[in-house]
Structure 1
Amino acid sequence: MTELEKMIAGHPYHINDPELVEIRFDTRDKTDAFNQLSARQAEQKSALIKDIFGQVGDNVHIEQGLRVDYGFNTKIGNNVFINYNFVVLDCTDFIIGNNVFIAPNVQVYTAIHPLEPRQRAQHIGQAKPITIEDDVWIGGGCIIMPGVTIGRGSTIGAGSVVTRSIAPNSVAVGNPCKVSRTLDHQD
């Protein structure tokens, strides 16, 4: 199994494997090009977004300040708006559903580093997938940690650190992020 295959499967892998380093450089070159475009260069921006990410639905808008590790592990649904300074460490699957709003300065980390210092010194990594289901709003400055699913119809309050999965139709806030209320169909 290659280091790339190990990474995608969620197994421990060598972060500085030459193939992985080259993929990250290639993705960073593309995100740098995206970030340099004028706001009016919508067609070029759209083309680069489709080249950076593994899947991009219809009516997807991403503001500049984008930072992405791999790109091909990220799949974006339809009608998605992502505001400024979005950081994606997508060492394994990162799924964004339909009708998702992501505010400025949101960071998404599928990457995990070992707690044991000797393993960290050997540049061993691991990853757990993240899913943001349909109709979710992520507030500004949120951090979403490895292995989390944010359920359909949920709202995550600004500045939250999401360390555990959030049930559908929830309003969740804080560090660590906790459900403060459940929405019903009238909300």
Structure 2
Amino acid sequence: MREEERIFKGILFSPADPELREIKQKAHNLSSLYSRTLEDETEEREAILKDLLGQKGENCFIQGPVFFHYGIHTEIGHSFFGNYNLTVQDDAKVKIGNHVSFGPNVTIVTPVHPLVASERRFMMDQHGHPKSLCYAKPVTIGNDVWIAANVTICGGVTIGDRCVIGAGSVVTHDIEPDSLAAGVPCKVIRKITGADSMCFKPEIMADCQVIE
């Protein structure tokens, strides 16, 4: 079994595997190239993302700088906005839905390392060789989700449709759809309802209108 297959099965794998290192080196180089582009170099940016990501929808904008660990393990839907300093350590699969927005400094981390120090140094792999091993858990983000600034999303988490995650949160567990959640660890504060509509804030709406 290839090490990449082991990642997707959620079992221990060797990050130093030559095939994995080749994938990561390409992603790191493309991330660096993207981060050095200018904002109006749209064609260059689009070409890099096409080569970097596993899948990307239409009308996406990523401010940069960015860092993707594998790149091809990440799938992004339509109308995505990613503010600056987006980091995606996508050992396991990362799936982001449509109409999702990220504030600055959002980090997604899928790998998990042993808690026991000696096991972080070495364990025996499937061939009986001592190696540094870890495992990874996927992350899924639904549609119409807003992730505020400085949020960290840990491996194994699913964030449901139409959620808002407050600034500075560390998301370690699933968040149900239509939830306002925040904190360290991130917890659901309450459901988002029609009572949260901007139409009930005329002092902020001024001469604007909500589209029915």
TM surpasses 0.5: yes
Query: Is 1:15–1:125's contact at 8 Å kept on the other side of the alignment?
Result: yes
Aligned twin of 2:173? 164
Contact 1:9–1:92, Cα closer than 8 Å, also in 2: no
User: Which structure 1 residue ranges, 4+ long, deviate > 6 Å from structure 2?
Assistant: none
Work out the CA distance in 1 between the residues paired with 2:191 and 2:138.
25
Aligned equivalent of 1:21: 21
Matched, 1:116 2:116: yes
Q: Judge which range, 90-99 or 111-120, deviates more.
A: 111-120
Q: Secondary structure of 1:14's match?
A: coil
State whether residues 155 and 170 of structure 1, in contact with CA within 8 Å, keep that contact through their aligned partners in structure 2.
yes
- CA-to-aligned-CA distance 1:84-143 (integer Å, 9 cap, x gap): 000001011100000000000000011111112222112211011101100000000000
Bigger CA radius of gyration: 2
What is the CA–CA distance in structure 2 between the aligned matches of 1:10 and 1:183, rounded to whole Å? 33
Runs of 5+ unmatched residues, structure 2:
123-131, 197-212
Matches within 5 A, 1:57-72: 57-72=57-72
Conserved? CA contact 1:57–1:77, under 8 Å:
yes
What is the CA-CA distance between 1:10 and the residue it aligns to? 1.4
Matched residue SS, 1:88? strand
Kindly state the Cα deviation for residue 186 of structure 1 after the two structures are TM-superposed: 4.5
| Contact in 1 for aligned 2:112/2:135 (Cα 8 Å) | yes
The runs of 5 or more residues in structure 1 that have no matched partner are none
**SS class of match (2:180):** strand
Q: Which residue pairs with 2:188 in the alignment? A: 179
- Give the TM-score normalised by the residue count of structure 1: 0.97
Q: Which moved more, 1:29-38 or 1:177-186?
A: 177-186
Q: In the alignment, is the contact (CA less than 8 A) between 2:53 and 2:71 conserved in 1?
A: yes
Distance 1:185 1:91 in 2: 38
Alpha-carbon distance in 2 for matches of 1:100, 1:184:
19
Aligned to 1:127: 136
Q: How many residues align?
A: 187
| Residue 128 (structure 2) aligns with | none
Q: 1:51-89: CA deviations, max 9, x gaps?
A: 111000010111111011101110000011000000001
* Counterpart position of 2:34: 34
Cα distance in 1, alignment partners of residues 5 and 95 from structure 2: 18
In structure 2, give the amino acid aligned to 1:50.
K
Asked if the contact 1:80/1:98 (under 8 Å) is kept, the reply is yes
The 3-state SS of whatever aligns with 1:181 is strand
CA distance in 2, matches of 1:156, 1:176: 12
The SS at the match of 1:8 is helix
Q: CA RMSD in A?
A: 1.0
